[in-house]
Structure 1
Amino acid sequence: MAKSVGTFKTSHLERLASSVTNWAEKWFPDSYIFAVLAIIVVSLGAFLVGVSPKAVATSFGDGYWSLIPFTMQMAIVTISGYIVASSPPAGKLINWLAKLPKTERQAVAYVAFFTILASLLNWAFSLVFGGLYVRAIARRQDLRVDYRAAGAAGYLGLGATWALGLSSSAAQLQANVDSIPKSLLPITGVIPFAETIFLPQSLIMLAVLLIVSVVIAYLSAPTRERAVTAQDLGIDVQDDVEKSIAPPRQPGEWLEYSPILTILVVVLGFWWLAQEFASKNVIMAISNLNTYNFLFLMMGMLLTWRPKRFLHSVAKSVPSVAGILIQFPLYGSIAYILTKAPGADGQTLSHHISNFFVSISTKDTFSALMGVYSAILGFFVPSGGGKWIIEAPYLMQAANELKVHLGWTVMVYNAAEALPNLINPFFMMALLGVLGLKARDIVGYTVTQLVVHAPLVIFMLWALGETLTYHPPVIP
């Protein structure tokens, strides 16, 4: 009896994932088309609340380049993460991890588990790590792992837990008085990690989402007979580690093959990093994306050892960033139309949306409704810390007025912020570039996760929030 029930559940989830994947492969647009359609939808929404076409066009142009620093950061995240993960030492670790699973479904579950753990340290690293881990498993000749399901599992850190860990931009910002905008400080005060990501309620939510995500990944993965492998898709997953390099052919190439220059640059780099970590809180220092990227570039240089191998890894990683470079500017425009284009009443579309949810909230329903709102808006403005700065003033003011725990309000934002990532290609770009897939290839499996995650997260936001007591802002 137990066996038949287990078989039914497995078959049900697998059929759901397979059906959505088949639909997506036919109808889900390329991520670039997805971004353009999002601009049209947001523009129409702005027109409906009284924003003039001129204001929409102005915001479109003004916002187009607003994410350029972040676009460059994400490109370097992908490149540096690829260099580190494809270096000989890291490659050995990933290849060892790839040997652990004994069955096809175990392999998908392992990818989900380790990727989620990686996202708690840093969401950006989890993308590249997950992609290279999937490629390593796909190279196994004894398993027929579904490459699409494994790829979706490699994305679960961004769609389930990243904002509940140390890389939560909102929690990081609220914990440091120097990071909080002066206009926001009187509303929120300083909120330490003990009141956000390390709340017992937050840790319970994290544990539940970790277990549920891994179980769904396991049960929804196609069996060996129905698996679509990387080879079936025509994707080359040859070893990502450059095991050897040919000797120099000309005297002028000697320095390219010598570790001398690498050592000198790495010494300077780690000297600066030592000063950076000595002068700041360690968590705050590593949460800075520039510092994180610099650390990974230095590690990449060190682990690849010779400039020739380092440059070869860079060249192999560059195709992975094409989607990032061309699509992120469109999301900058979407954010500006939502938050910078005023209507006849002087208010933006974002403000009208937030007012709607806040106006129908009570102390008991605020967490659940705010979660729904943040998830919906996060679909159009996929930016953790940047969007929090925009939303925090009115959301935290509403929390104060309704006497809702301020730290939990931050975690409501964090948990809900991850949900739209499961179907939004914005953050998928780095992973898809490493895997050689398109968003339509994995969205069937991520939608399956979303079907379970959405009601579960909203329920936990309400239920766990009911166990907390409001405390006024602590203003230093």
Structure 2
Amino acid sequence: MKELSHQQDMAVAADHDARGLERMAAAIARWSERWFPDAYLFAAIAVVLVAIGALAVGAPVQRVGIAFGDGFWSLIPFTMQMAIVAIAGYVVAVSPPAARLIAWLARLPSNGRAAVAFVALVSIALSLFNWAISLIFSGLLVRALARRTELRMDYRAAGAAAYLGMGATWALGLSSSASQLQANPDSLPKALLAITGVIPFTETIFLPQSMLMVGALTAVSLLIAYLSAPSEARAKTAQSLGISLDETAIDVAAPSRPGDWLEHSPLITLLIVALGSVWAWHEFTTKNPLLAISNLNTYNFVFLLGGMLLNWRPRRFLNAVAKSVPSVAGVLIQFPLYGGIAYMLTKAAAPTGLPLSDHLSHFFVTVSSHGSFPALMGIYSAILGFFVPSGGGKWIIEAPYVIAAARDLQVHLGWAVTVYNSAEALPNLINPFWMLPLLGVLGLRARDVVGFTFTQFVVHLPLVIFMLWILAGTLTYHPPVTL
């Protein structure tokens, strides 16, 4: 009896601790919702701070202004590429075949906690291919699971699990902005390419050490998702939260005039897909497939063809595209600012002085060593990522001095990108910026899910920093490849 009583006391204590952690995370979310400005303002503030920094190291006002203007449009190709990543991912995720797949997957879990862990697995797996598909598909899966009222699944915990791909592994997968940038010289500003050189996927996301990190983060994330999900007695279902679970459909009106028939016929879709498939077949059979898919244009082309085919009729495809466009507003308006920041970092200097990027590089070389650099840069990148929630845009800001410092300290350059990728995903777990598309699908607020994502963050942070440090010792430095 004493042993049973002791076990009950421990269970009550553990339950109290879990409730306390959830209350703390909810308080942080409430504070963020009230005081945290839009992510655009953080990019704008970064422009001002970098300009002040360039002036502080001796750059004339005229050079700083010219550098900002010259760099403002330097990321237009990459801005368009990242917008298409989001649009293509959304279009694929809401297609009819994807809807049928979601309905089938929703029948697999046997209880609420298993359902939460299952959502986490799907989110993480999909994030390695496309972060946008991961967000939308996982959100739709949560809604399908929530319709199974017998599961008693906590809708908030499942929503947080659907976000784990974005908060844990996306930056270590194929849609990693930094890895895509470094593998595609045409997407990099010339000033940055001269510093970093070309770093192919084989030196970043396909490094065995990077894949080991993916495996470790996946295992830990699934375990936390399962254990932190409230029991059936404490679960808050979608119904108890007052959330409607009506089907999310792409409306397609019936043709109203003879000229509409092509919009509702798959003929044009099939012809375009057939034509594009000829090019894709040539691309993947004449090149190493891993190198072919690392080209962001090829990656987006394949996904767009898939979206056309899966939606079948042009009108449905166009309606899906129209629904996806609001999710890329932040990318379209913020990336030009990041381009201006990159140029101010690398080009604005006194006639006989060094640009701000060189001063920052020298600082990190001074305060770190070959061994400590990965951990130090990981912590720094995670902190900066909370204020600048943009994988590609933030890499443009950091890359000039991160890669320069890595070269000086003889740190593997591909691992420097992985350090950035791994650490950059961490603040997504507590910053609501990238949650917005998912929250729109779920009908939740950031405060509803942050209690669970914060739990993941507490465990992920030390694990990621430790692995970045310990695995760096297994790699050898190679000079950058320049064109």
State the TM bucket, normalised to the shorter chain: 0.7 to 0.9
The residue aligned with 2:385 is: 378
CA deviation profile, 1:56-82 (whole Å, cap 9, x unmatched): 888888777766655554554444333
The residue aligned with 1:423 is: 430
The residue aligned with 1:105 is: 113
State the aligned residue count: 472
1:223 is aligned to 2:218: no
Q: Distance in 2 between matches of 1:54 and 1:232?
A: 59
Aligned positions of 1:324-343 closer than 5 A: 324-325=328-329, 328-330=332-334, 332-333=336-337, 336-337=340-341, 340=344, 342=348
Q: Distance in 1 between matches of 2:23 and 2:334?
A: 31
The residue aligned with 2:24 is: 19
Aligned positions of 1:129-208 closer than 5 A: 129-172=137-180, 193-208=201-216
Q: Distance in 2 between matches of 1:216 and 1:164?
A: 20
Change (3 A) 1:418 1:337: same
2:441 is matched by which residue type in structure 1?
V
Aligned positions of 1:37-436 closer than 5 A: 39-40=44-45, 43=48, 47=52, 50=55, 72-172=80-180, 193-240=201-248, 248=255, 250-315=257-322, 317-318=323-324, 321-322=325-326, 324-325=328-329, 328-330=332-334, 332-333=336-337, 336-337=340-341, 340=344, 342=348, 353-385=360-392, 387-388=394-395, 391-436=398-443
CA deviation profile, 1:351-406 (whole Å, cap 9, x unmatched): 65554333200122111112122223333444445554554454334334333333
Change (3 A) 1:466 1:137: same
Using the aligned pairs only, state the percent identity.
58
Q: Distance in 2 between matches of 1:33 and 1:211?
A: 33
Residue 151 of structure 1: CA displacement? Answer: 2.2
Residue 350 of structure 1: CA displacement? Answer: 5.9
1:33 is matched with which residue: 19, 30, 38?
38
Give the alignment's TM-score, normalised by structure 1.
0.81
Local SS of the residue matching 1:362: coil
1:116 is matched by which residue type in structure 2?
I
CA deviation profile, 1:125-160 (whole Å, cap 9, x unmatched): 222222222222233222343333222222222221
Local SS of the residue matching 1:403: coil
CA contact (8 A) 2:39 2:389 kept: no
Change (3 A) 1:67 1:54: same
Q: Distance in 2 between matches of 1:419 and 1:219?
A: 20
Q: Distance in 1 between matches of 2:343 and 2:186?
A: 24
Q: Distance in 1 between matches of 2:289 and 2:50?
A: 42
1:452 is aligned to 2:459: yes
2:337 is matched by which residue type in structure 1?
S
Local SS of the residue matching 2:277: helix
Residue 42 of structure 1: CA displacement? Answer: 6.5
CA deviation profile, 1:5-57 (whole Å, cap 9, x unmatched): 67755663454134312541354248763542564476357547755999988
CA contact (8 A) 2:79 2:331 kept: no
Q: Distance in 1 between matches of 2:185 and 2:319?
A: 42
Q: Distance in 2 between matches of 1:387 and 1:37?
A: 11
CA deviation profile, 1:143-187 (whole Å, cap 9, x unmatched): 343333222222222221122233334445556788888877887
CA contact (8 A) 2:213 2:467 kept: yes
Change (3 A) 1:438 1:233: same
Local SS of the residue matching 1:211: helix
Q: Distance in 2 between matches of 1:63 and 1:434?
A: 35
Residue 440 of structure 1: CA displacement? Answer: 3.9
Local SS of the residue matching 2:370: coil
The farther-off stretch of 455-464 and 337-346 is 337-346
Q: What RMSD, in angstroms, separates the aligned Cα atoms of the two structures?
A: 4.1
2:470 is matched with which residue: 463, 470, 474?
463
Q: Distance in 2 between matches of 1:377 and 1:437?
A: 26
Local SS of the residue matching 2:151: coil
Q: Distance in 1 between matches of 2:317 and 2:268?
A: 12
Residue 3 of structure 1: CA displacement? Answer: 6.8
Change (3 A) 1:143 1:333: same
CA contact (8 A) 1:43 1:56 kept: no
Q: Distance in 2 between matches of 1:135 and 1:123?
A: 19
- 5+ residue gaps in structure 2? none
1:138 is matched by which residue type in structure 2?
A
CA contact (8 A) 1:91 1:240 kept: no
Give the alignment's TM-score, normalised by structure 2.
0.80
Local SS of the residue matching 1:407: helix
CA contact (8 A) 1:32 1:327 kept: no
1:434 is matched by which residue type in structure 2?
V
The farther-off stretch of 377-386 and 39-48 is 39-48
CA contact (8 A) 1:67 1:329 kept: no
Change (3 A) 1:273 1:34: same
The farther-off stretch of 418-427 and 227-236 is 227-236
Change (3 A) 1:20 1:258: same
CA contact (8 A) 1:60 1:334 kept: no
Local SS of the residue matching 1:121: coil
Change (3 A) 1:351 1:96: farther
Q: Distance in 2 between matches of 1:416 and 1:74?
A: 20
